[in-house]
Amino acid sequence: MALCCDFGLFSKKLVSPAANLITDFLHIPGGVATSFSLMFLVIAASLIPVFGCAAVMGAIQSMLALFFGMTGSMGILAPIGYILPGLVIDLIFFLSRKITGDSAPGIMPAMILSSVAACLTATIIVFRLRGLVLLLYVLVSAASGSLCGLLAVSLSCRLKPIIFYHSEVKA
Amino acid sequence: MTKRNLVITVILVLAATLISVFYLRGRTQSPRGSLNICYEDKEISVEPFTLSLSEVKGTVVNGKGEEKEISAKGVSVMDVLSLAGIENGDFAYVRAVSSDEYAAELLAQEVADDGIAFLIRDSSDGSKKVGGLSIRLVVFGDSNSKRQVKDVVRIEVVK
């Protein structure tokens, strides 16, 4: 969880220059780098079957972001932008585990909906977008969320046997 | 499941592409060094830096509390609005909107007062616009940098 927290926070800074090429071209305020950053929260939450783990990671990320001054345009309200997508991830995995008994089917919806939640939170707090530009912002977030979702599904499937093997060995 | 995920991704990417085509085609792009002023359903293109430029000097503070000195040539927002025939008292507030739709609001009083809101030539993102002709909004007296808008392309005047 701690590793995914850090990866999520700092990967955003790393991929931002490349992501900005897309968002600058489309004249929207972001959405691509956020989805990539949320992927690490989704991977961790898919491997740890505890409700609230993504929200806790989001809260820790927001504290780190405040500490390092990486809050972007949200400023002091940044924790909302980190915790809300975390809650959405938790909710999707809770439902996925309840309905199918497994977290894997929830990875894709968790990625898409958490990306959309993050972009809507940013819209409400900072950007106040309307109309077509808001629709485009939401769709770009959802599309990049689904692309990262494909990666998250693959990474989660590869990590699951390793993590469960180590926890069984310890037990 | 993988096939279903791929189908969802393709649908979302196609939908985003389709909407981006509509959005980019309908978007009015202001020429370099100029901006559009939206007032009473009209869009007026003005060139702020054709006005006589004055010295814009002061200190702005960002969210971390760090101070930054501003020293540039620029024009007050009120002077730019007057280029479009808008006078003080014609509006309640204005929204300065950047190319990525980030916007900052300025009350009529702040626009009318001397020494608060200016538009300056921004050379910091010269890579985006040749010759550093992108326009930047500078607002003095704020406790954070939320209203320091880069690459202003539009000013919406609201009654």
- Tell me the pLDDT tens digit for each residue of B21-77: 988 887 776 677 788 888 888 888 888 888 888 888 888 887 667 788 888 888 988
B99 interface with A at CB cutoff 8 Å: yes
Residue B10 lies in a domain: no
User: Is the model's pLDDT at B83 over the cut of 90?
Assistant: no
B21 and chain A in contact, CB less than 8 A: no
Number of domains present in the structure of chain B: 1
Q: 3-state SS of chain B: helix, strand, coil percent to 5? A: 25, 35, 35
Indicate if the pLDDT at residue B130 is higher than 50.
no
Question: Which of A29, A69, A104 is facing B102, going by the closest CB pair?
Answer: A29
Residue B6 resides in a domain: no
Does residue B37 sit within a domain? Answer: yes
- Non-local (6+) Cβ contacts of B74 within 8 A are B53, B54, B56, B118, B119, B120, B121, B138
Is B22 among the domain residues? Answer: no
3-state class (DSSP) for residue B99:
coil
* A120: CB partners within 8 A, 6+ apart: A138
Look at residue A7 in the predicted model and tell me its pLDDT: 79
The more confidently predicted of residues B26 and A107 is A107
B1 in contact with A, Cβ within 8 Å: yes
**Residue B153: inside a domain:** yes
Q: Tell me: pLDDT of B127 over 50.
A: no
pLDDT tens digits, one per residue of B46-62: 888 888 888 888 888 87
How high is the pLDDT of residue B159?
82
pLDDT of residue B104: 86
B5 lies in some domain: no
Domain that holds residue B85: 31-158
Q: Which residues of A touch B146 (CB under 8 A)?
A: 73, 75, 126
Q: Is B1 part of any domain?
A: no
Look up the CATH number of the domain holding residue B105. Answer: 3.90.420.10
